[in-house]
Each structure stands twice: as C-alpha cells, then as structure tokens.
Amino acid sequence: MVVTLVGCINYALGLGYAVTFLLGGVWVAAAAQATWAGRGLTGRVVPPASAVAGGTAPFTVRVEGRGPGGTFLVRLGPGAEGMERVPAGGTAEVTVPLPTPTRGLLHLTRPAVAALDPLGLWAVWQPLPVPAPLPVAPLPEEGAPPPPPPAPGAGEEAERRGPGPDDFSGLRPYQPGDSPRQVSWRHAARTGSPVVRETDAPAGTLLALDWAQTASLPDPEARLSRLAAWVEEARRTGVPFRLTLPGRALPPGAGEAHAAAARAALAEVQPWPAPAAPAPRRPAPAPLPGAPLRFTLLSLAFALAPAALRQPVWLTGLEAALLSYAALRTRRPLPAPPSWALGLLAGLGFVVLNAVYGTLLGREAGTALLGLLVCLKAAETRTQRDARLLALLGVFVLLTHLFFGQGPLAAAHVALGLVGLLAALGRWNGPGPASGLAAVGQAARLSLQAAPLMAVLFVLFPRPDGPLWQLPVQAAQTGLADEITAGEYSSLAQSRDVAFRAEFGGPLPAPEERYWRGPVYERYDGLRWGQVRERFGSPTVEFYGPTLAYRLTLEPGNPPWIPVLDTPTTLPPGAFVTTAFQAVSFSVGGSRTRHAVQGRAARLGVREAPERLTLNLGLPSGESPQARALAASWAGLPAPERVEAALGWLRNGDFRYTLTPPTLPQRNRVDAFLFGSRAGFCEHYASSFAFLMRAAGVPARVVGGYLGGERNPDGGYLIVRQQDAHAWVEVWLEGRGWVRVDPTAQVAPGRVTAGLPTALARPEADTPPPPAALDRVALRVDAWQTRWNDWVAGYDGPRQRDLLGRVQAGVGGRPALLALGVAGVLLAALPLLLVARRRSPTLDPAARGLDDLARRLRLPRAPGETAAAYGERAIQKHPEQADTIRAAVGAYHRARYGGDGGALAELRAAVRQVRR
C-alpha cells in the first residue's frame, strides 16, 4: 500500500489512489473480522498419552469459536503450527505434532490460538491453558535381551504377595489405563461408579527391573533405553513388575497405567541428555494443491490481459506459455523449470526489451519487463508463500495499466482483477482452501465493506501538485507537431480521438470564433514550416472586448502547448506565453491535465521586432516562380488589398477541399498546388497563402491549432478532436499588427461554420446536421466519461482544493471543515469498528457475564470447562482477586441455574471489580 501510494503521488494516478485506499479499507475490514472472530475463541491443549525420544508427540488442540467462524491457527512452538476451519459458534480439532528428539519433559511455554481473517492478513491471538509437562520416555532398545526372569523367593519372602494375575484380592476404583476386562460391571451397575477387580500373586514371581541390571552398558541413555524395552515387554505380556531407578522406586504393578508410570519415571531420570542439534537442511516443500494454484494463475492472467494490446506479440506468447506450464504442472508430474533456464529467459528478456524500446525505464518497457518477471515467478512457484506473493505482485501489475488509461473500462478491469487476486489470497488461507466461488464472495464482501472508507480517503487525502521525483515515463505524442508539411494535418483529420474538452463559464463562443491557437510556424525552407527558437523583442498587446473564462482538459500525449482562444490574460501556474503569443506549459504531456484560462481579444504586435518581420518575409531563392510572379502583380496595392486579392484569387480559382490531395513534388510545391492540382487540405492553403503574402511583401506566418468543437448537450462543453486540427495564416499589417486570415474558409466556408465532416461533403454548408441516434449515445457516454475524468481519474490537488474550499465556505471555516473530515473518516470506519467490537453470539446474559470475566482476567475458558473449575483455575493464577472471582462465579450459578434475577446485577458488578 505504501509503494502504490507513492507511485500514485508521483505519477498523478487518480484511479490508483482509489485502488490504494480500497486496499487500505480491505486491510481494516479484514482486521475487524479477525478481531471479532478472535474475541470469542477459546481452546484446550490435550497432550498425547505417551511419547518417546526420536519421534513426535501429536498434541490435540480443541478449539471453540463463539464468533463468525473461519480459519484458526494453532501454535505450540517454533515451527509447530496447525490450521483448521471452525464453523460459526462451533468446535473443531487440530493435531499438531511436536518433535521429541531427546528424552525428558516436554514443556509448552506459550501455546496460543489465533483467528485469521478471510485473506490471512491478520492474526488475533488468544493464549491457551498450558498443559502439564509431557514425559518423553527413552526409545526402547531394538533387539534388547530379555529381562531377567523372576526368581522364586524363599521363606517369608516367598509367602508375601503382591499385585499379579493369579488370585482375586478385592475391588478398587477404576483408573485410566485399566483394561475393560478387569471392570466389574455388576458392582458398577449397583454402585454407579466403575470398579476394577484386583488380583495378586506371590511376590517372588514379580519381574524386578533394576538400574543395576544394566551396569554392563556404559551410556546412561543406553541403560534407560534397555529398561524401556523391558517395560514394554512386561506390558505386552501382562507380567507384573517393579522398577528401581536412582533415587526412585516404582512399586509392583501391572497394566497400561503402571507401564505409563514407568515410562514417566524413565523420562525424569537426571541428568537429561543434551538437546539435539537442529536439522542441517530444510525438508523439501510439499506439493501445492492444484485448485488454488490454478485459481491464482487465472487471476494473474486476467490482471496481465490488457498488456497484450500494447506489447510485442512474442512477449505475450512467452508469458502465456509460462503461465500455462505452471498450470499444467498442477495436473501432471512435470519438473519445475531449472533456475538457470529461468535466469536465461530473464536475461534475454532484458536484452530484447531494451532493443525494442531503447530503454528499460520507460512506461512501455517497464511494464512489459514487470509482466515478464511476474510470469517467471509463476513458473518457479513452489510454496504457499510464493503463491501468496504471486497474488500480491498481481496487484502491482493491475496498477501499471493505469499509466495507459484511467477510464471506466480500466476501472472495471482493475476492480474485477483486484477481487480475483484477493480471492486467490483467500484460497491459500486454510488447510482446505474454500471453493473459488466462495473465495470470490469473501473478497467481494470485504471490498464492499471497505468502499465507504475508500471514498472518504479518496476525497480528503492531500494531493500534491507535483511529482516526488522524475522518471522517464514516455508517452507517444499525438496532435500538432513541431513542424508541418503538406499532408500533416490531413492525417490528423482522419482521427476522432479527443484532443481536449473546454468548459465555459458563460455562453459558448460562436463557431467562427473557435480558433484554438497552438504552435506558430515562421521558418520556411520550401518544404517544411517550423517554429523559431530565436529571441526577439517583446511585441505589444492591446486588449479589448470582454473577458472569456474557460477550463481546458487536455488528454494525455499532447505536446507542451495549451490551445487557447484569443490572447490569454490568465494562465495556470507554470505556463507562459511566448513572443509569438503561443501558450506553453511543460506539465502537458504524459497525463491528463486541466488548465483554467482567461483571455480577451487583442491587437497583437502593432509594434513588432524588425528582425521578426524580416524573418516572416523570407522565402527560399528560386522556389515556385509562378506564385512569385502572381504575388508581384499585387505589389502596387496597399497591404490590406494584397491580402484581399490573394483571397479572391483562391475563392474564384476552382479550388477543392479534400483529405486526399495528389502528391506534390519536392520542388516548386506552391506552383504545383496553385496552378496544378488545386486540391488540398488546410495546410496546403495556409502554406500557399503565406508564400503569396511573403512574395507580395507582407510578413506572414502559419499558425497551427484547432478549429471548432462539438457541443455536448449533456455537459454543455465543447469536444475538440484531433480531426479538428487546422492551420491558418497571420499577416502583419501596419497599425493593426498580426491579423488572422483563414484561406481555407474561401474554398470551404463550411469548415468554419459546420465542422470538418460536413465541410468535406458540403463545403458551402452553414450549420452542421443534427446528430444521429448513435452520435447522441456517443455524446452521452462522453459526458459520463468527462465526469469520471473530473472526479475520479483527474481528481487532483486543484480539484480537491476547489471542492474543499466550497465545503469550507458552506460549513463555516477551516476548523469546521477539519471536524467534518474527521467525522467522515470515523463514520466510514464505524461499521468496521462495530464488527470488531461485536460480542460473541451467546444469547444467555449469564454466559455473557462469564465471558466478560474471562476477558478481563485475560484467561480464556477451555472448551467444556465448568464455571466452578474455571473459577478455581482463575484463583490459582490470580490469588489476590480470589474473593471477587468467587463472588462472580457464585452470582453466575444463581443467575443461570437458580432463577435469581438480581444475581445478574451482582455478576456484572463483580466483573467490573476485577482488575485487568
């Protein structure tokens, strides 16, 4: 989230902010769900009946969930974990094997159980009651010699009797480990408690196992291992035995319980052996389950899909092959690609992509390289950690598409892709991953819960005006070029891509006033018109007429100039006007930009630098002699009449306006056009007219820009497309300065009043035809797109300050605005906080009171543990609060079983007195 937020700030990705804040909301929603589940989670650790050195001890953890259910994680020690799903309000068990490398007592220091959220991002831990240390008996010796046979006694010793299999000697209470065959069911039915028949035998026939009998073995552990083998043999054959160890003697006995006591005694013989050295190598990871991995690969493929529209075909094929092979490995026993092969593919990818794009840091090259590396990671995925990392890398892949577009379709793709990748995370969160449909449902619910918080953060989070640093995010430029030749604008005229949109505070200007000024071309070499970089003196500007205010929204990829009407009087920060009256801003380019502009009509350059006027009279020597001769015939006329003579000659010269003029020669192009083809587009007429004016002694230059714009009735703004690109001429007249002249209007007046499509079909048209049904639908969609660009994709610092300024004025100042923002964040997070604070779904008020007591003591109840037993255990841990705990347990009993209505208040009061 931090990395994506930095990227959004640096590259002004408005939609990226929304995705980042949605991830933040999902993070908070997942924490709330984990907290709710964790508050009602209790458990109990059940140790195994026995354990031997060199094996494992399978501990069973019984977990009870009083919350919504889900996945829980049990941790009994480093690396000793188990995971299981518990139903809502139900119980479940998980077995966690702990290694027992050496003999001794196995202590569980901090057993705990954690509730996980549906995505596995959070773990809310609850401590588990610590069981008694588990004796780890020595491993019985393999092939041990038989135990010494029982030696018959003599005299008084022979007459003594002890436990044995021979004669009945009485009844005793049942003990765990006694054989069911020894239970006297008749007596048990009469008394109500199980009793066991005891038998005995002469003491001289007992098996006497003694530490001294193993003196021939030098190693104490070997001696204990032999004694353990003899104990197992006696247990198996049912022979009674006694065990004598250093410092301890086990009385004679028989049966499973006696054998367990003997094993425990062997485990506790000191000194204990030194801990075993850790294993030198990790075991090989278990194969990943196929269904979750295929789902993750499918989600990643969906995230990568838009890149196929802009990257080389070979790269798309390679990525598809890598993902397909990774998916095929989940169904067939195919080997994983070797590391050297993946490294070789990565190296070749670096080299080839650098050759194709010329760099590895640009927008196209960087995103293509990221996609290749992610697919290589998918091919070598072996563990669940790799699979979860793959899903998170997919989020970065999704965000890279926003460099190329942030429209509604891109938003829909990102939203669906994000839900799929979150669902892929959820499928790895559990021992038996849920189905794909269930995981998608979980991810969608989390996203909906996160939406309010995302919306508030999207509106209020501060938006910087500039990037944190500059990197070469290259974007292909469209629109007007730095220089023009014949045919330059006719190619643009065949594109309906939007160049910019213009919103006006008042009425729209008339069609004949919609000349959007762009680059000015003053240098002419006979073939090309180019811009001038020389410094000239500043010309004069004399404003007149009303102020026109409008806001421009330029699409990405435009050159660094702002198309303006008339002469700008106010420009956005960082923009300026050149001495050719061209508005320039270097913030235009790779991303959508908005500019607030004010302008007025003006007389430009009434006093102009002589060097500039001389430049605008220059013509290549020997170029187009017929045009020169025509212009020379007007040389005796005043300058304004020379302009009118040239316009009249075009108007009456049987010229034709077309997008497909014949090709002109490299030399004498103006003659070929004026006296030959007589068919061309705006740049043909502007170039030829400027040539005639210069040849006639009138300074002239070509101005590029846009003419017109389509009004969108749904939004009331103008849509100016690339097909509206236009070129006209400015001539300098004494006392009037630079005057706009459009020679194309003499041939096709409809180009000014009716737009390009109409002018091509009907050059004399006055108004454009009404839009067709499909065009109206397209305009409606464009209005939605514009609103989306304004409030989502293009929601930047100025837009935020404008919105918050209006809200601040409405609520009464900055403190009230700050309080409103804090309240908005809290209200957006309130549903998630309520989920986190929800009590367990225990309907009985007395049971809720006992749950509150356990929470305040930070001592969870074990599943099935009675209130009285819990109270005794709590008093042992907190003896200083014994009276309060007894009072609470007594009130619980009276409220739950005695029908005492007043006991509930006593229970709540006692719980409040418990110190945390």
Q: How far apart are CA 841 and CA 65, in angstroms?
A: 10
b/e string for 484-509 if b means 16 or more Cβ within 10 A?
Answer: bebbbbbebbeeeebbbbbbeeeebb
Which residues on adjacent β-strands are paired with residue 97?
58
Residue 570's φ and ψ, nearest 5 degrees, are -135, 130
Regarding beta strands 70-77 and 112-116, do their DSSP bridges make them parallel or antiparallel, or are they unpaired? Answer: antiparallel
Give how far Cα 902 sits from Cα of 658, 848, 852, 867, 890, Å: 97, 16, 18, 19, 12
Give how far Cα 592 sits from Cα of 13, 596, 694, 716, Å: 10, 14, 39, 20
Q: How far apart are CA 28 and CA 20, in angstroms?
A: 13
Give how far Cα 682 sits from Cα of 47, 117, 491, 855, Å: 91, 65, 11, 82
Q: What is the CA radius of gyration of the chain?
A: 44
b/e string for 101-134 if b means 16 or more Cβ within 10 A?
Answer: bbbbebebeebbbbbbbbbbbbbbebebbebeeb
Among candidate residues 8, 117, 178, 682, the one labeled active-site is 682
210 catalytically annotated: no
Q: How far apart are CA 74 and CA 175, in angstroms?
A: 31
Tokens matching residue 689 = 């007219």
Q: Which are the contacts of 479, defined by CB distance < 8 A and separation ≥ 6?
A: 492, 499, 557, 558, 559, 722, 725
Which residues on adjacent β-strands are paired with residue 733?
737
Among candidate residues 566, 724, 742, 782, the one labeled active-site is 742
Secondary-structure percent of the chain, ordered helix, strand, coil, rounded to 5: 45, 20, 35
Residue 42's φ and ψ, nearest 5 degrees, are -135, 165
Q: How far apart are CA 224 and CA 214, in angstroms?
A: 8
726 catalytically annotated: yes
Regarding beta strands 207-210 and 241-245, do their DSSP bridges make them parallel or antiparallel, or are they unpaired? Answer: parallel
Which residue's entry shows tokens 């009404």? 770
Tokens matching residue 884 = 């309060």
Q: How far apart are CA 684 and CA 679, in angstroms?
A: 8
CA dihedral 564, 569, 570, 571 (to 10 degrees): 40
Which residues on adjacent β-strands are paired with residue 577?
583
682 catalytically annotated: yes
Listed in sequence order, the DSSP H helices in 789-898 are 797-811, 814-836, 845-857, 867-877, 882-897
Indicate the residue type of 691: F
Among candidate residues 726, 782, 790, 851, the one labeled active-site is 726
Show which residues are catalytic: 682, 726, 742
